[in-house]
Structure 1
Amino acid sequence: MKRFFTLFVTLLFVTLTAVGQDEPHRILFFGDSITAGYGIDKKEAYPAVIQQKIDSLNWDFEVVNGGLSGETSAGGLRRIDWMLRQPVSVFVLELGGNDGLRGIDLEVTKSNLQKIIDKVRKQNPEATVMLAGMQVPPNLGPEYTKEFKQMYPALAETNEVQLIPFLLQGVGGDRALNQSDGIHPTAEGHKVVAENVWEILKPILEKKRQL
């Protein structure tokens, strides 16, 4: 009986200690093959590079890579509830590129992205939402290309979210920074992408650390 009581007290102490510990703030990168790190080691993908930057500053933020190769905005909408099972402090939305490559109606893509943002806001009212702007090749016609590019700033303005103007700035079109398909960045390319994200993300994290 005495041994049982001692074991019970020990387990209770461990449980209370764990509950009392603050979990790291989560940064969820929710996207497609770019976020997933297609064609390279996942440790070299831009979300992992962001984690390295955070760790070097000894900040208490944990990056979660929610990228899935081939993902469309519709696919993202279907799985977002599952990804939001744990709370997030920052949500980075990187979807729509595959929609554009398939020529999907932009109103459909925009609606899906809007619904994802709405779900994040409902589940995590205090979370900061970031939207990664994307562009598509001109082969789908100048009107579609222009409207696709404008879709992201419009969503960002409507929802008052932080916009990364163009995720692949400095990478898109550069053969040296892209794999043979000309679409997916190399490990070096992901370093550039990480800098594009970090420019917007770092001030957000600095503010959250002060709360």
Structure 2
Amino acid sequence: MSFKAALSIFASLAITALLSAGSALAEPIKLVGFGDSLMAGYQLPASDAFPVKLEAALREKGFDVEIANAGVSGDTSSGGLARLDWSIPDGTKGVILELGANDALRGIPPEQTEKNLDAMLTRLKERGIAVLLAGMMAPPNMGPDYGERFNGIYQRMADKHGVALYPFFLDGVVTHANLQLEDGMHPNSEGVDVMVRTMLPATETFLKSITAGE
């Protein structure tokens, strides 16, 4: 092989490598919204689900991000733990973890909910996936003792695992009937808009922490 031919092949390989590197750099940050019906978008068009609207809001802010919707209506923390590994694909950089509402509605012992969240956070940490933990509050009808045991779970888990915490996923919606479906528990489309606006600053900070650690 002549020197000129070898140089041409080397140049072609170098260009291919540069193009591949550029393509890799251009890949969006992949997040997963992992939760129950509040994440899934219960009784809403798919385009109105929280992950979809949050992705759109972040893109308007200049973030190149994709958020997969891994919400399952009716899911408890036990159900989430059981499906965690196959619901969070390889290549995921971060997870918005929102579970526990159905545990409280069903009166599941808060200690079990905490144990399940602890296990999920441990698994995600082992995979090198960042987490933004979305907190939940027990409904008042469960009584003050249950509420005290349940409501402290999320701060304890955030402190233990060193993850970001958004204290209450339904902030700004839970006490406003006009932002809820007729069941009085799930957000309507306007309610999702409020949730996205309220959570957006915390999510921006979360994304910046991911990119800073790469």
2:82 paired with 1:63: no
Match of 1:6 in 2: none
Structure 2 portions without partners, runs of 5+: 1-15
Tell whether the 8 Å contact from 2:130 to 2:210 is kept in structure 1 after alignment. Answer: no
2:49 paired with 1:45: yes
Q: What's the offset of the Cα at 1:63?
A: 0.6
Q: 2:82 corresponds to which letter in structure 1?
A: R
Match of 2:161 in 1: 159
From 166, 190, 193, the counterpart of 1:191: 193
Tell whether the 8 Å contact from 1:164 to 1:196 is kept in structure 2 after alignment. Answer: no
How far, CA to CA, are the matches of 1:143 and 1:166 in structure 2?
A: 19
From 97, 103, 108, the counterpart of 1:104: 108
What SS does the aligned partner of 1:170 have?
Answer: coil
Match of 2:180 in 1: 178
Q: What's the offset of the Cα at 1:92?
A: 0.8
Q: What's the offset of the Cα at 1:16?
A: 7.9
Q: What's the offset of the Cα at 1:86?
A: 2.1
Q: 1:110 corresponds to which letter in structure 2?
A: E
Q: Report the TM-score when normalising by structure 2.
A: 0.85
Q: What's the offset of the Cα at 1:80?
A: 0.5
Structure 1 portions without partners, runs of 5+: 1-14
How far, CA to CA, are the matches of 1:196 and 1:24 in structure 2?
A: 23
Q: 2:208 corresponds to which letter in structure 1?
A: E
Q: What's the offset of the Cα at 1:174?
A: 1.0
What SS does the aligned partner of 1:91 have?
Answer: strand
How far, CA to CA, are the matches of 2:199 and 2:95 in structure 1?
A: 12
Tell whether the 8 Å contact from 2:94 to 2:210 is kept in structure 1 after alignment. Answer: no
Q: What's the offset of the Cα at 1:207?
A: 4.1
Bigger drift between 177-186 and 42-51 goes to 42-51
What SS does the aligned partner of 1:27 have?
Answer: strand
Match of 2:93 in 1: 89
Q: What's the offset of the Cα at 1:150?
A: 1.1
The share of aligned pairs that are identical, in percent, is 36
Deviations 1:144-184 (A, max 9, x none): 01221111111111111111011111100210111110000
Structure exhibiting the larger radius of gyration computed from Cα positions: 2
Deviations 1:32-60 (A, max 9, x none): 00000001112112211111112223422
Match of 1:141 in 2: 143
Computed over aligned residues only, the root mean square deviation of the Cα atoms, in angstroms, reads 1.9
2:30 paired with 1:26: yes
2:82 paired with 1:78: yes
Q: What's the offset of the Cα at 1:209?
A: 4.1
How far, CA to CA, are the matches of 1:188 and 1:167 in structure 2?
A: 15
Q: 1:192 corresponds to which letter in structure 2?
A: V
Bigger drift between 130-139 and 32-41 goes to 130-139
Distance 1:143-1:161 versus aligned 2 partners, 3 A rule: same
Tell whether the 8 Å contact from 1:133 to 1:165 is kept in structure 2 after alignment. Answer: yes
Q: What's the offset of the Cα at 1:195?
A: 2.0
Bigger drift between 173-182 and 78-87 goes to 78-87
Tell whether the 8 Å contact from 1:175 to 1:182 is kept in structure 2 after alignment. Answer: yes
Tell whether the 8 Å contact from 2:132 to 2:206 is kept in structure 1 after alignment. Answer: no
How far, CA to CA, are the matches of 1:92 and 1:62 in structure 2?
A: 12
